[in-house]
Structure 1
């Protein structure tokens, strides 16, 4: 079995979206990966996203990661909001056409956590609640706390570096404490936003919960 991802383009709201797709025979589920802030250089090849992809792959999941509009070879311009969520929703529609039987698991890192949460909320309205969600250093400061609903029915794990220099750890802790649903918050001591030297620990935390 090849572990090599296939490069492809998926039709998005603003044109083709660049993606990397790995279909595993008899997969346990599908892992969709949402990358960090494109304005700060975030792409689907980010090392945290790549670590999450390999972790899901090694656990027996088919994987799909993609570049938002205006990133890499994806068409369009950055929206830094609902546009990237629209892109993620289009990617889900495509992969549902390929693997309709597999439960969906959503991974989001940094700004990708914002995208993942908004995507999950949209899918829940359609009766398509994800099986699991992993939010790594999620950009909760971007969320509309007045209206955001984190869907019930999916396992939710939040992984937050304690020395995060990009996303305030305390904001994530406060947001976690206010959630009206079961979830797990994992704090990674002596670790910065990009998990420099700690990617192996991130992999262990995620793989033990897949």
Structure 2
């Protein structure tokens, strides 16, 4: 049975953020650790977004310790929406909170983001060198350049949907072209919600990717 408990942690600018830690069953030693970042706060995104919850449960069931959290101004997290730039500090703090969890191997930590969470996560990636892999679902492509995907060689999985107009497959493929460390996967018939059967597909893809790059 998974073990889920509340967590609170502080950002570098002094805000207290709320989250949840989801751990594998007590008899299972953690295989790694993952931070999961949620969609856009101004459009209802939170750590309770169904895809975020499903990802946390899938990864914890596979043996990962997972921290999902609310960005500043969401739920019980202090502060106000910061346009994305301020939220980079939230990612940094969440990764530090993951590192403080007992039993999480130092060399097996990853960052996963959905929509806005993927966009902020990519921007924050240079500031979290303890993260060894990144997975983005429905990554918004506004204000991103190909260099965002190729600026370092840590493994990355970018998932989009055939009908995702926030992360158009042809644009994403073009931006990641030539980056050997970047995998792009398009889910047939999926849109930006990744609901129904697509939720399970996303979970399986992220789980398999992290097992491949962190546990090999």
Scaled by the length of structure 1, the TM-score of the pair is 0.86
Runs of 4+ in 1 over 6 A off after TM superposition: none
Q: 1:173 deviation in Å?
A: 2.4
Unmatched segments (≥5 aa) in structure 2: 212-216
What per-residue deviation string (whole Å, max 9, x for no partner) do you get for residues 42-93 of structure 1? Answer: 1011111112111211110000011010001100000122211111101222
Q: Provide the alpha-carbon RMSD of the alignment.
A: 2.1
Structure 1: gaps (5+ residues): none
Q: Please name the residue that 2:110 is paired with.
A: 105
How is 1:1-210 mapped onto 2 (pairs within 5 angstroms)? Answer: 2-12=1-11, 13-24=13-24, 25-99=28-102, 101-102=105-106, 103-124=108-129, 128=130, 130-143=131-144, 150-152=151-153, 154-177=154-177, 180-197=179-196, 198-209=198-209, 210=211
The alpha carbon displacement at 1:145 in A equals 5.5
Distance (Å, rounded) in 2 between the aligned partners of 1:33 and 1:150: 22
Q: Structure 1 203/96 Cα, relative in aligned 2: closer, same or farther at 3 Å?
A: closer
Give the aligned length: 203
C-alpha displacement of 1:98: 3.1
- Structure 2: distance between partners of 1:207 and 1:122: 24
Cα drift, residue 14 of structure 1: 4.4
Shift of 1:149: 5.5
- Contact 2:3–2:23 under 8 Å retained in 1: no
Report SS of the residue matched to 1:208: helix
TM superposition score normalised by structure 2:
0.84
Give the 3 Å change call, closer, same or farther, for CA 131–148 of structure 1 in structure 2.
closer
